[in-house]
């Protein structure tokens, strides 16, 4: 059964952030809100925790995972950023955008796209996420907590309806170690995915804020 931690959405309490940092450093998996949907996450460098996240999402080992960084300078530590990519990213972050970029050696293979050697990175516009990233010092895995439809049957909800916060809490209570509750309901839009691996940027998924990206394409 997961620990539920109530945290202020705009001014996260330092003591709570430290509790979560210690848990993540020890390999914990959490359910937490972002500036898009609720996400399942862990410390990028905690291999056993990353494997658990993939198991929860029923992802094959060759399926990549997105992770969060606190700033553009930190993104450049984990990915090769071209001049074009830098200009685009600088104009969009922080925000609801996932950038596909060539991965550096600091990105675990378990997280990368094994064929393309790419990775997905976000810089969120969310107080809690940024506080956790600053405290932990490592990127945080961020994959949507919206499980496949057949997994939602346990909730006794209409699977065509976006699940509520309590639906997600109930479904994931036995699968994660920590549930973070900021009082926010999950948003119903995912991030926009922008492929920046080539000189020609490509929108591969239209999500929140995609119109702002279109101006660059």
- Secondary structure (H, E, C), 182-215: CCCCCCCCCEEEEECCCCCCEEEECCECHHHHHC
Question: What secondary structure letter does DSSP report for 108?
Answer: -
Please list the residues that pair with 97 across neighbouring strands.
192
Q: For 58-93, b where at least 16 C-beta lie within 10 A, e where not — what string? A: eeeeeebbbbbbbebebbbebbebeeebeebbeebb
CATH number for the domain spanning 96: value is: 3.90.870.10
CB 107 within 8 A of CB 79: yes
Q: Supply the pTM of this predicted model.
A: 0.92
Q: Structural domain of residue 30, as residue ranges?
A: 3-214
Question: What secondary structure letter does DSSP report for 60?
Answer: -
pLDDT in tens, the chain (217 residues): 999 999 999 999 999 999 999 999 999 999 999 999 999 999 999 999 999 999 999 987 778 999 999 999 999 999 999 999 999 999 999 999 999 999 999 999 999 998 999 999 999 999 999 999 999 999 999 999 986 544 444 434 333 456 789 999 999 999 999 999 999 888 888 999 999 999 899 999 999 999 988 877 7
Overall number of domains in the chain: 1
CB 40 within 8 A of CB 53: yes
Round the CA-based radius of gyration of the chain to a whole number and report it.
16
């Amino acid at each position: 059964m997961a620990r539920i931690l109530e945290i202020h959405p705009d001014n996260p309490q330092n003591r709570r952030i430290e509790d979560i940092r210690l848990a993540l450093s020890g390999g914990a998996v959490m359910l937490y809100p972002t500036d898009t949907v609720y996400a399942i996450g862990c410390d990028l460098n905690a291999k056993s925790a990353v494997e658990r996240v993939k198991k929860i999402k029923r992802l094959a080992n060759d399926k990549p995972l997105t992770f969060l960084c606190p700033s553009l300078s930190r993104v450049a530590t984990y990915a090769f950023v071209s001049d074009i990519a830098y200009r685009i990213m600088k104009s969009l972050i922080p925000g609801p955008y996932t950038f596909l970029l060539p991965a550096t050696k600091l990105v675990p293979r378990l997280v990368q796209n094994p064929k393309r050697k790419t990775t997905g990175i976000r810089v969120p516009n969310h107080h809690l996420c940024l506080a956790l990233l600053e405290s932990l010092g490592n990127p945080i895995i961020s994959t949507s907590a919206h499980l496949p439809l057949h997994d939602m049957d346990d909730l006794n909800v209409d699977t065509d309806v976006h699940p509520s916060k309590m639906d997600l809490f109930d479904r994931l209570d036995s699968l994660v170690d920590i549930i973070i509750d900021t009082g926010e309901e999950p948003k119903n839009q995912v991030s926009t995915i922008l492929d920046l691996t080539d000189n020609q940027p490509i929108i591969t998924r239209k999500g929140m804020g995609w119109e702002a990206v279109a101006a660059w394409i």
